[in-house]
């Protein structure tokens, strides 16, 4: 057990969550405003943020949203965008030896990108405890729900997000997220393959097929350009 | 189905898909995909998905959106994220107005 006990661990987690929690507020507001533009109500946005709790997947889903909601396509889209979480959860589970089985089942659904990244960072320095994880995840989770709901309330009042270019915020957010991976091996090949395949597919069959085709082309490019022990 | 029910079906299906990916780590053997081509493919997944999401929006919706997209890429080199978002939205709104 850690020297400070569960209370100290919880406080350390809350302290670590301050920066990502503050940073996520503008995104959550934007997500809520965009969702309002697609006709979602504040209650629906709150429920989506509480139950789905996955930033890029929610942005992608709201972007692809039509009325009535194509629930199967949206679920497939969320599945594809979140596939990386399979490996993030497998990785963090190696650090959750101190978690009782029930705590693991409660913690894993809260494994948004930021929660995962900060948990891994903590685990690299000292053992990860359930109290630290709770301190990290709970403020972030509640802020995500509250801010996206507030954004929806404000968005319903603003009107059509396209008139202000708000829908283009997706492009800006995703460009910045992609740029964060630029040192990854094969980055340029993945970018070119995914973008090329997505655009070509979109021109032939508009709709979610472009996302699947681009993703498959991108990961195929990564596999084909991979070299053992790059020197 | 009434639209109200479609929305809730979508939210629940999306929640199910997300929880599935986050619990699926429990089923991954400890030494799975720790190197080689398979690991490279999985590591590339975020970039591949995000690129596939935005490339059609940037490149197939007319010159205004394409130019705004190019400005966003340039801005992402120098500016913090909130500034890139603000600039992207302003550029898209302004250029679309010019494009008519």
Same domain, A188 and A149: no
Interatomic CA distance for residues A149 and A230, integer angstroms: 46
- Reported in sequence order, the residue ranges of A82-186 that DSSP labels E, i.e. its strands, are none
Helix (H) or strand (E) holding A77: helix A71-81
Give mean pLDDT, residues B33-50. 79
- Please check whether residue A86 lies inside any domain of the structure: yes
What local confidence, expressed as pLDDT, does residue B73 receive? 96
Instruction: Quote the domain boundaries for residue B68.
Output: 3-99
Domain count, chain A: 2
Q: How many distinct structural domains can be found in chain B?
A: 1
**What would the mean pLDDT of B43-61 be, rounded to a whole number?**
86
pLDDT digits (tens, 9 = 90+) for A141-174: 999 999 999 999 998 777 666 777 777 877 887 8
The pLDDT of B53-79, averaged and rounded, is: 93
Contact A51, A110 (CB under 8 A): no
pLDDT at residue B1 tops 60: no
Residues 6+ apart with CB under 8 A from A12: A4, A132, A135
Q: What value does the mean pLDDT take over residues B28-45?
A: 77
Q: Report whether B48 contacts A215 (CB < 8 A).
A: yes
Taking alpha carbons only, the member of A31, A71, A47 closest to residue B14 is A71
Q: Give A-chain residues touching B54 at CB under 8 angstroms.
A: 170-171, 174-175
- Secondary structure (3-state) at A99: coil
- Inter-chain residue contact A68 with B7, CB threshold 8 Å: yes
The distance of B5 to chain A (nearest Cα, Å) reads: 9
Residues A188-223: tens digit of each pLDDT? 999 999 999 999 999 998 766 788 899 899 999 999
Is the CB of residue A44 less than 8 Å from the CB of residue B7?
A: yes
Domain final residue, candidates A168, A189, A223: A168
Q: Is the ipTM of this complex over 0.85?
A: no
d(CA B91, CA A15): 37
CA dist A21 to A14, A61, A112, Å?
A: 10, 22, 12
Nearest to A170 among B24, B54, B90 (CB): B54
Residue A231: the pLDDT is: 47
Interchain pair B55, A194: CB under 8 A: yes
b/e burial code for range A165-180 (CB count within 10 A of at least 16 → b): bbbbbbbbbbbbbbee
Is A173 a domain residue?
no
Q: A97 contacts in B (CB within 8 Å)?
A: none
pLDDT the model gives residue B28: 82
Domain boundary among A147, A168, A189: A168
Is the domain of A162 the same as that of A186? no
Same domain, A57 and A119: yes
Taking the C-alpha atoms of residue A46 and residue B24, their distance in angstroms, rounded to an integer, is 25
pLDDT tens digits, one per residue of A32-72: 998 998 999 999 999 999 999 998 899 889 988 988 888 99
Give the rounded percent of residues in chain A with a pLDDT score beyond 90.
48
Chain B residue closest in CA terms to A89: B25
Alpha-helical (H) ranges within chain B are 3-23, 36-43, 45-59, 63-78, 81-99
In terms of Cβ atoms closer than 10 Å to its own Cβ (0-12, 13-18, 19+), residue B39 is middle
User: Measured between CB atoms, does A220 come within 8 Å of chain B?
Assistant: yes
Within-domain flag for A110: yes
Identify whether residues A68 and A40 lie together within a single domain: yes
- Residue-number span of the structural domain to which A97 is assigned: 5-168
């Amino acid at each position: 057990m850690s020297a400070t006990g569960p209370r100290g661990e919880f406080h350390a987690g809350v302290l670590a969550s301050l920066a990502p929690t503050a940073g996520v507020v503008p995104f959550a507001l934007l997500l809520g405003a965009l969702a309002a533009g697609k006709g979602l109500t504040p209650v629906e946005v709150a429920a989506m943020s509480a139950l789905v709790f996955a930033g890029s997947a929610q942005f992608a889903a709201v972007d692809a949203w039509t009325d009535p909601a194509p629930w199967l396509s949206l679920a497939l889209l969320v599945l594809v965008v979140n596939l990386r979480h399979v490996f993030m959860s497998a990785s963090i589970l190696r650090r959750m030896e101190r978690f009782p089985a029930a705590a693991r089942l409660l913690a894993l659904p809260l494994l948004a990108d930021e929660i995962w990244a900060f948990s891994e960072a903590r685990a690299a320095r000292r053992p990860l405890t359930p109290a630290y994880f709770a301190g990290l995840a709970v403020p972030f989770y509640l802020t995500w729900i509250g801010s996206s709901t507030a954004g929806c309330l404000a968005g319903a009042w603003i009107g059509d997000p396209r008139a202000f270019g708000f829908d283009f915020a997706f492009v800006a957010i995703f460009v910045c997220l992609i740029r964060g991976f630029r040192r990854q091996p094969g980055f340029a090949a993945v970018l070119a393959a995914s973008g090329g395949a997505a655009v070509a597919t979109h021109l032939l069959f508009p709709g979610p097929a472009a996302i699947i085709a681009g993703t498959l082309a991108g990961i195929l490019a990564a596999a084909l350009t991979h070299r053992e022990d790059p020197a | 189905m009434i639209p109200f029910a479609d929305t809730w079906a979508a939210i629940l299906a999306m929640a199910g898909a997300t929880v599935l990916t986050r619990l699926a780590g429990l089923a991954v053997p400890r030494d799975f995909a720790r190197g080689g081509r398979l690991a490279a493919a999985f590591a590339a997944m975020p970039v591949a998905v995000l690129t596939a999401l935005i490339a059609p929006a940037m490149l197939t919706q007319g010159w205004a959106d394409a130019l705004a997209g190019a400005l966003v890429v340039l801005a992402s080199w120098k500016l913090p994220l909130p500034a890139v978002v603000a600039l992207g939205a302003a550029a898209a709104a302004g250029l679309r107005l010019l494009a008519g």
